[in-house]
Structure 1
Amino acid sequence: MPSRRDFLKTSMLAAGALAVPRLAPAAAARAQGALPAAGGARVVSTWDFGVAANRAAWALLSQGGKALDAVEAGVQVPEADLANHSVGKGGYPDRDGRVTLDASIMDGDGRCGAVACLERIAHPVKVARRVMEATPHVLLVGDGALQFAREQGFPEENLLTPEAEQAWREWLKTAKYKPVANSENLDYRRSLPGGKDNHDTIGMLALDAHGHLAGACTTSGMAWKLHGRVGDSPIIGAGLYVDGEVGGATSTGVGEEVIRNAGSFLVVELMRQGRSPQEACEEAVRRIVKKRPDGAKELQVGFLALRRDGAVGAHAIQQGFTYAVCDALRQDRLLASPSVYATSFS
């Protein structure tokens, strides 16, 4: 973050910490085809930090591991990265100075689990999986989620890092924040100490060598949000949805807009009806823009989809959304998503 929904400018992407070549949208489109016959497994995830996350997932997939285990392992990489201010223990706090985390995980057979507004636990995706496997529920929130994590033996720690606390105290000097969906990105940007830009949620989708699909999504949410605010990431059908007979989808951007449109579920259902992953993502973005004709140019939402045959699609409202693809052919591809508008936030 600081804006959970803030997107890097193209120039910053080129100079990113992961020194991975970024392809133009046309090149990205060519790389979205189905897996070659010798392929089998593939993992995709949002943003440039998805490259490192994909590598952790690929360490399991390349050995015949399960997609569910792979996505859980993969997204823990950005969750543990203190330099990542939009995911995990490095995340920026809400306006009360409290770091709250959201995560979901879903298997292709329909099993799923999620936590929201979880404090003091560094890896919410692990708690989400435990919710899926150890309870009859799908979503636990707030104090109840923390109580469950404690009972399951997860270690607690203070998640407010010195850097995040300094940024929060700097923000308090002006406390500029308008909880209006189509102005959040710009408000956050103006409020950031040092003018820093950051990424967003990590959503990951994996197909294993056995043909099974799974996905995970994890975030620290929007910086300086109202305490208790929950975005799309832990909402099954919004930030994440996987159907083993069809494919999976995940989202990034202003979570409220994704929730209003059941975004990831919509992408999967469009694929079920015969749309390609690319076409499905494009249609999901168009529906959001159609409902926000006067404010869409200040919004960012992006979708990423993986079909059961390995085909990939991505689309966003604004330029600047990137995603990483990893398979047997190459483990470090970072691609630029096509978008409705050709200019990113300024």
Structure 2
Amino acid sequence: MKGRRKFLGDMALTAAAASLARGVMAGPAQSAVASGGRVVSTWDFGVGANQAAWRKLSAGGSALDAVEQGARWAESELCNPTVGRCGNPDRDGVLTLDASIMDGDGRCGAVAALEDIDHPVSVARRVMEDTPHVMLVGEGAQQFAMAQGFHKQRLLTPEAEQAWQEWRERAEYQPRINVERNLKPGNKENHDTLGMLAIDGNGRLAGACTTSGMAWKMHGRVGDSPLIGAGLYVDNEVGAATASGVGEEMIRNAASFLVVELMRQGMTPMQACRAAIARVVRKRPEASKSLQVCFLAMSRDGEVGAFALHPGFVYAVCDAGRQDALHASDAVYDGAAT
């Protein structure tokens, strides 16, 4: 009886939260597909990434081509301390990059702890298409990239190296919660992993995730972004999900897979993101007060939903109607942890 009461209580919590949540509706079924597709991505810099992806979609490209192009934009055109060439290094001063890409038919590829190779998302796609594997890491990933025609180059910027030198003076590591920020596109203070989802005019889904990981992490640490099912999961039959924040929590909960499976059971993208957040809180209630976890999801009909532990998470939506929309996610907690 106690187990049944707990189950009903959890379902009531999820339903109540969903009634308060905000989402981006697709309108009539298949409207996002009929209008040529939709692209969504995490954080304010997702606006630029979405626009790069939209150029592919509007030209008739696939969702897979679109998310790769959007992620490539973030890796090279954006200079951001947690994504791509401008990322901050680990505690040893080494910049390592992680990325994953997934098609709605289940094909996927990833690289982790990749050094001195630009565009890890494209290397991940090559892993998917040109090897029998899903993930390559470290030196092996670099060797593969070079064999595929990618060029080895020093990516650590002088600014990132200087930031690392300043960090070494105190050598403290504590992930900070993203707080409420201005939603103006290009706000460089609002940064984290880029997670991107797309649906094209044929109704096919795809997703990509790319990051330089947590600044000052232990050398060899890998977060959720390159892990299929943790930072990214896509299924043409249901929808897609991606995550941002402290990757260890996404790994512990197989979070993006969880969100998609909750949608498979009938939840909307918003409800599924909220239920996944509730699971994080139930498992680690004290830890959840001092870290950020964010989920973004899209159904196979193009409906979009998001939820976070703490305020501050924004996501970008791009379709035929508008290419620069930003939305603030609802959150479990009202403000930063004390």
Matched, 1:98 2:94: yes
**Count of equivalent residues:** 308
The structure 2 residue matched to 1:29, chosen from 8, 19, 22, is 22
**Counterparts in 2 of 1:261 and 1:233: CA distance versus 1, 3 Å:** same
Post-superposition CA distance 1:160-183 (Å, at most 9, x none): 100000000000111112xxxxx5
Mapped contact 2:194–2:211 kept (Cα < 8 A): yes
The structure 1 residue matched to 2:52, chosen from 49, 56, 63, is 56
CA apart distance, 1:29: 2.4
The structure 1 residue matched to 2:119, chosen from 117, 123, 129, is 123
Mapped contact 1:320–1:344 kept (Cα < 8 A): no
**Counterparts in 2 of 1:223 and 1:336: CA distance versus 1, 3 Å:** same
- Other-structure match for 2:68: 72
The structure 1 residue matched to 2:161, chosen from 165, 189, 211, is 165
The structure 2 residue matched to 1:266, chosen from 258, 282, 307, is 258
Alignment of 1:71-220 (within 5 A): 71-81=67-77, 83-177=79-173, 183-185=174-176, 197-220=189-212
Q: Which aligned runs of 4 or more in structure 1 are off by greater than 6 angstroms?
A: 25-28
> Aligned partner of 1:151: which letter?
A
Mapped contact 1:254–1:300 kept (Cα < 8 A): yes
Distance between the aligned counterparts of 2:167 and 2:91, measured in 1? 9
Matched, 1:229 2:221: yes
- Other-structure match for 1:340: 332
Distance between the aligned counterparts of 2:23 and 2:214, measured in 1? 33
Post-superposition CA distance 1:43-73 (Å, at most 9, x none): 0000000000000000011122100000000
CA apart distance, 1:198: 4.7
Distance between the aligned counterparts of 1:82 and 1:209, measured in 2? 27
- Other-structure match for 2:39: 43
In the superposition, the TM-score normalised over structure 1's length comes to: 0.86
SS at match of 2:331: coil
- Other-structure match for 2:10: none
Deviates more, 1:74-83 or 1:113-122: 74-83
Distance between the aligned counterparts of 1:198 and 1:145, measured in 2? 30
The structure 2 residue matched to 1:304, chosen from 296, 302, 312, is 296
> Aligned partner of 1:167: which letter?
A
> Aligned partner of 2:68: which letter?
E
Distance between the aligned counterparts of 1:82 and 1:339, measured in 2? 27
Mapped contact 1:40–1:211 kept (Cα < 8 A): no
Matched, 1:282 2:277: no
Distance between the aligned counterparts of 2:106 and 2:123, measured in 1? 18
The structure 2 residue matched to 1:294, chosen from 286, 289, 292, is 286
SS at match of 1:302: strand
CA apart distance, 1:122: 1.3
Deviates more, 1:129-138 or 1:74-83: 74-83
**Counterparts in 2 of 1:168 and 1:198: CA distance versus 1, 3 Å:** farther
Distance between the aligned counterparts of 1:105 and 1:30, measured in 2? 24
Distance between the aligned counterparts of 2:266 and 2:306, measured in 1? 16
Mapped contact 2:111–2:226 kept (Cα < 8 A): yes
Mapped contact 1:43–1:206 kept (Cα < 8 A): yes
CA apart distance, 1:184: 2.4
In the superposition, the TM-score normalised over structure 2's length comes to: 0.88
Mapped contact 1:319–1:339 kept (Cα < 8 A): yes
Mapped contact 1:240–1:251 kept (Cα < 8 A): yes
CA apart distance, 1:30: 5.4
CA apart distance, 1:333: 0.3
Distance between the aligned counterparts of 2:190 and 2:168, measured in 1? 19
